[in-house]
Chain A
Amino acid sequence: MQLSTRHVLDRAFSSLGIVAIALMGAALVLLLGPIVIRGSGALVFRGTVEHRRLMLELFQRGDAEELDEELALARKAREPLYEKIAECEADLKSLGFARRREVRGALHELKEVMRELLGPAPGTPKPVMPRDQYGQTRWERAELKLKDVLFIEKWDYSDPTQMGKKTLAPRIEDFKGTPLETNGFFTYAETHLDEMLRPNWTFYWQFLTDRSYDAHFFGGIWPEMLGTFYLTFGAMLFALPLGVIAAVYLTEYAGAGPIISGLRVCISTLAGVPSIVFGLFGLAFFINTLGVSSSKSVLAGSLTLGLLVLPTVIRASEEAIRAVPKTYREAALSLGAGKWHTVMTVVLPAALPGILTGLVISMGRAAGETAPIIFTAAVSVGQPLKLGQVFSQPTPALPWNIYNLCTEHEAVDEIRHVQYGMVFVLVGLVLLLNTAAIILRARISKKLHG
């Protein structure tokens, strides 16, 4: 081959490599960027006075006196709105019967959306659900809600050949001929939102350590994080010893017979089984057949996840053990070590970095898997578990709750920030676990190789 051809080929290959790496980097940024930005919104946001009221009432956090002063100011700013509504209500009698019904309905709707924005009106009984007891706690949500106060969403179906079109109609049009049209209610609401809700930049780190209130409407994700921890470590507790022992057997003790090669095929196949199948198997085997717990539990989920990552652990450990130089074994044996002793004192320590790599991969997988825990461990809402409860209690867990929030929650649009926060924390958690394991691996590797 010509020298110039070789040069061209070399250059083409290296530039292809650079392009591939650049693409990967871009994908990573594209993927992680939004997760980090929107996810951190769960912790850092402009919290309104409602948020501070919530913190004080549900979590006894913050200064009660300070809050009272602030609330007084907010109430004063809100007062004109309620007065204007009352004015309109008093004026209802002057309307004709049909119009009166219309306006009464519109008023009811307005009061409802006002409650969503600012919380219950003064003098009304305390609602049952915590989500109804507070106005918007986050400024960006409040701004959206304000739009609902000012406008009504309408659907235009006038063109039968087209899909319905969403239009925003000013709410003020519903109140033609009533005091609300003229007394400046809507302008006041639009211009005084700031004073009524008093947003402040808030660092709500307790998002990570608070339990959730009212199905994730308020509070944090501690039970989910804890559940993920329990499930991941539980899975590792089962998979690691079992996997390493199996790998030692396969590499050091097993012969080359057809049973052993069959076993290897089984392990490879097991690694390719879809995770939902593991989930169903876990339910059928661990819960229904073995009865490790009467219903879903962390234990059953950990066992299922452990089974899921077992092939990975076995494979990685096997590779690592195989990579230990034969000369180490010979040296140990020549010094009079038995086979078992050789494995324990020489082979396994030398294989540890490789085994840890397998552990890292499987830990990330176990932490993020959703399907295996649907039937075996996960519930959408729950308390943080104590260690002793893991044998019998189910737990919320990040991957399942992310799925659950975005598919089954009744008001997912209201709490997108929680969902993003969960994704953020899950990615961060996996990253943290991996970093820890990688550092550990590097340290052991360094110790081994001088």
Chain B
Amino acid sequence: MTNDGFVSADAIGAKDTGTEESVPHVRADGFSVFYGTNEAVRQVDMDIPTGMVTAIIGPSGCGKSTYLRAINRMNDLIPECHTKGSLRFDGQEVYGPQVDVVALRRRVGMVFQKPNPFPKSIFDNVAYGPRLSGTRNSGKLAEVVERSLRDAALWDEVKDRLKENALGLSGGQQQRLCLARSLAVKPEILLMDEPTSALDPKSTARIEDLIAELRGTYTIAIVTHNMQQAARVSDFTAFFYEGLLIEFGETKQLFTNPAEEQTEDYIRGRFG
């Protein structure tokens, strides 16, 4: 734990190791994200259970992406963005004063809305992360690249053209490549920010199959606009509305018998 922790060594002592087994992978306690004075995520209490697929749904601008991007601190890129409350990853405060953001991000993989492979070769895309963490040995790199591409179900399609530019792939292939790129750094949790919104139905189905395959190995949090998708792939679902977490529960239960009226209205398509 000490080696891959993202809090610098002298802060480790402060961590309560005794409760590690019982805590969910990500836990938010009264967690808020502000853009300037606008509170985009409002005092959310939400857990993302380890090894499960958690879907976050809600209408545009409800704060679901903001919440997701808070977990690996991608919101840091936006000036004027600050947080309140507690967000813990593996029991450690993500926004704590001694957090090494780079180390944190290595443990949290992310797949974005639009496929964003680097303008490099397919191999270099996947090898980017491992190289970052100091893997130079070409045999080892090739091994990692092959494993990651196989995990992302892309290996058979690209094994003969690893040296070609990744931008030559189709949109669906690019997104799977991005997934492989994330998997190559062996993250503990995968954040997916509407990963299929730019893809055709066939590619979407492949990504969903992949999510099902990766379930158990990784903790997965997926933000989606598509309620059928949430129902298909997730174990738990959270419904956000105007920055508030309205409802969180097992997917089956939430979709068949929502506790809140707003949730029901949304999943019945009465607004959104």
Residues of A bordering B, CB below 8 Å: 325-338, 341, 345-346, 349-350, 447-450
B182 near A: Cβ within 8 Å? yes
Distance in angstroms between the alpha carbons of A341 and B101 in the assembled complex: 14
Given contacts A331-B118, A349-B119, A447-B165, contact A336 B133 (CB under 8 A): yes
* 119-156 of chain B: CB within 8 A of chain A: 119-120, 128-129, 132-133
Q: How far is the CA of A99 from the CA of B57 in the complex (A)?
A: 118
The verdict on B259 contacting chain A, using a C-beta distance below 8 Å, is: no
Are A335 and B166 CB-contacts (below 8 A) given A328-B116, A341-B132? no
B133 — which chain A residues lie within 8 A by C-beta? 336
Is A334's CB under 8 angstroms from B109's CB? yes
Residue from A329, A338, A450 within 8 A of B165 (CB atoms) = A450
B74 to A330, Cβ gap below 8 A?
yes
Interface contact A334-B102, CB-CB below 8 Å: no
Q: Which 7 A-B pairs have the closest CB atoms?
A: A336-B106, A450-B165, A450-B168, A327-B116, A334-B110, A448-B119, A450-B167
Inter-chain contact A449/B119, CB cutoff 8 Å: yes
> For residue A329, which residues in chain B have a CB less than 8 angstroms away from its CB?
77
Residues of B within 8 A of A333 (CB): 74, 77, 105
- Looking at chain A's contact residues, is the secondary structure mostly helix, strand, loop, or mixed? helix
Residues in B with CB closer than 8 Å to A448 are: 119, 165, 167
**Bound-state Cα–Cα, A449 to B119, Å:** 6
Check A331 against B77 for contact (C-beta < 8 Å). no
Cβ-neighbour of A328 out of B109, B118, B164 (below 8 A): B118
Considering only residues 53-76 of chain B, those with a C-beta below 8 Å from chain A are 72, 74
Can you name 29 A-B pairs with beta carbons within 8 Å? A326-B77, A328-B116, A328-B118, A328-B119, A330-B116, A331-B112, A331-B118, A332-B128, A333-B105, A334-B74, A334-B108, A334-B110, A334-B182, A335-B106, A335-B129, A335-B132, A335-B181, A336-B103, A336-B129, A337-B102, A345-B128, A349-B119, A349-B120, A350-B118, A448-B119, A448-B165, A449-B167, A450-B165, A450-B167
Bound state CA distance, A246 and B244, in angstroms? 43
- In the complex formed, the residue of B with least CB distance to A337 is B132
A330 to B193, CA, bound (A): 12
- State whether the Cβ of B114 lies closer than 8 Å to any Cβ in chain A: yes
Q: Which of A327, A328, A334, A448 has the most CB of B within 10 A?
A: A334
Q: Please give the distance in Å from B66's CB to the nearest CB on chain A.
A: 14
Contacts of B182 in A (CB 8 A): 334-335
Cα distance, A331 to B167, chains bound together (Å): 14
- Closest Cβ of chain A: how far from B23's Cβ, in Å? 23
User: Which residue of chain B is the closest to A444 with respect to CB atoms?
Assistant: B119
B169 to chain A, nearest CB (A): 8
Which residues of A sit under 8 angstroms from B114, Cβ to Cβ?
Answer: 327
Query: Which residues from chain B contact A325 at a C-beta distance below 8 Å?
Result: 116
How far is A167 from B142 in the complex, measured between Cα atoms in Å? Answer: 87
Q: Which residues of B contact A332 (CB under 8 A)?
A: 118, 128
List A contacts of B28 (CB < 8 A).
none
Task: Decide if B185 is an interface residue (CB 8 Å cutoff).
Answer: yes
| B178 contacts the other chain (CB 8 A) | yes
Measured CB to CB, the closest approach of chain B to A406, in angstroms, equals 49
- The distance from the CB of A351 to the nearest CB of chain B, in whole angstroms, is 11
Min CB distance, A253 to chain B, in Å? 13
Which residues of B have CB within 8 Å of A330?
74, 77, 110, 112, 116
Most chain A beta-carbon contacts within 10 A, residue among B114, B132, B168: B132
Q: Which of B119, B181, B182 has the most CB atoms of chain A within a 10 A radius of its CB?
A: B119
Q: A330-B116, A349-B119, A350-B118 known; 18 other A-B pairs, CB under 8 Å?
A: A325-B116, A327-B114, A328-B116, A330-B74, A330-B77, A331-B181, A333-B77, A333-B105, A334-B74, A334-B108, A334-B109, A334-B182, A335-B106, A336-B129, A336-B185, A450-B164, A450-B165, A450-B168
